[in-house]
A = this chain, B = another copy of it.
Amino acid sequence: MKENKYDDPEFFSAYAGMTRSKLGLAGAGEWPELEKLLPDFSNKRVLDLGCGYGWHCAYAAAHGAHSVLGVDISAKMLDEAARRNGGSNIEYRRAAMEDLVFAEGSFDLVLSSLALHYVRDYPKMIRNISEWLAPNGAFIFSTEHPVFTARGDQDWYRDAQGNILHFPVDRYFDEGEREAVFLGQKVIKYHRTLTTLLGVLLENGFLLRAVVEPQPPQTLRHLPEMQNELRRPMMLLVSAVKQQ
């Protein structure tokens, strides 16, 4: 069973309070780095896996995409997406990304923002994405960094007074399910090594264009949640191109 945490009212409400939910792309620490990786959208058929509030879908449409399909497992997220980021060439569809079926070469660009760490079978997902992409199609995604997902609790290690000492890494090569605490609730995520994250892309015919661990921009560093973001990597951005 795929977890649909975002339809839990309490979790959804906590998510709505995050800076990225209130401000959209401008409130997402990784956005300036992710934006640099995005290609020309002109006439592209775009798929957004785990589209959430639809910020990236709206961005793609505003930058000339031919069509945009945003997919998310959460009905509540898609309600927000339709409300905030609708558009005549944007379609929102409710589905777990693992269950999607498309014809070969259906898209020119696949995006996924902070959703792949919820997917259990990464190799199968990447194989599907490779099939769905036309030759020279791009796959650009962010996911939680292996350093961040390895131990499982995704929290700093603190002294008795609660001061942060460092970020703990453990169980790195033990890939699989982790019970993380996110927005005060237990959420199932999947830890994968960097070896797997990149290796599976290479095995599926992708060329690596960029691998970036984003640092929050100066404009957001004053926020309380950004104070320690330079002490450990939290996300990984990857730009890959499907070779012919």
| Residues of A in contact with B (beta carbons under 8 Å apart) | 147, 150-151, 157, 165-174, 193-195, 198-199, 202, 207-213, 215, 230-233, 236
Instruction: Please give the distance in Å from A83's CB to the nearest CB on chain B.
Output: 36
Residue of chain B at shortest CB distance from A231: B170
A202 B208 Cβ-Cβ under 8 A: yes
* Number of copies of this chain that the complex holds: 2
Main secondary structure of the interface of A (DSSP, over half): mixed
Residue of B nearest to A151 (CB): B166
- Taking CB atoms, residues of chain B closer than 8 Å to A166 are 151, 157, 168-170
Lowest 9 CB-CB distances: which A-B pairs, in order? A166-B168, A166-B170, A173-B230, A167-B169, A208-B208, A195-B213, A198-B211, A169-B232, A172-B232
23 A-B contact pairs sorted by A residue (CB < 8 Å): A147-B147, A147-B172, A150-B232, A165-B170, A166-B168, A166-B170, A167-B169, A167-B170, A168-B169, A169-B231, A171-B231, A172-B231, A172-B232, A172-B233, A173-B213, A173-B233, A193-B213, A193-B233, A194-B194, A194-B213, A195-B211, A199-B212, A202-B208
Min CB–CB distance A122 → chain B (angstroms): 15
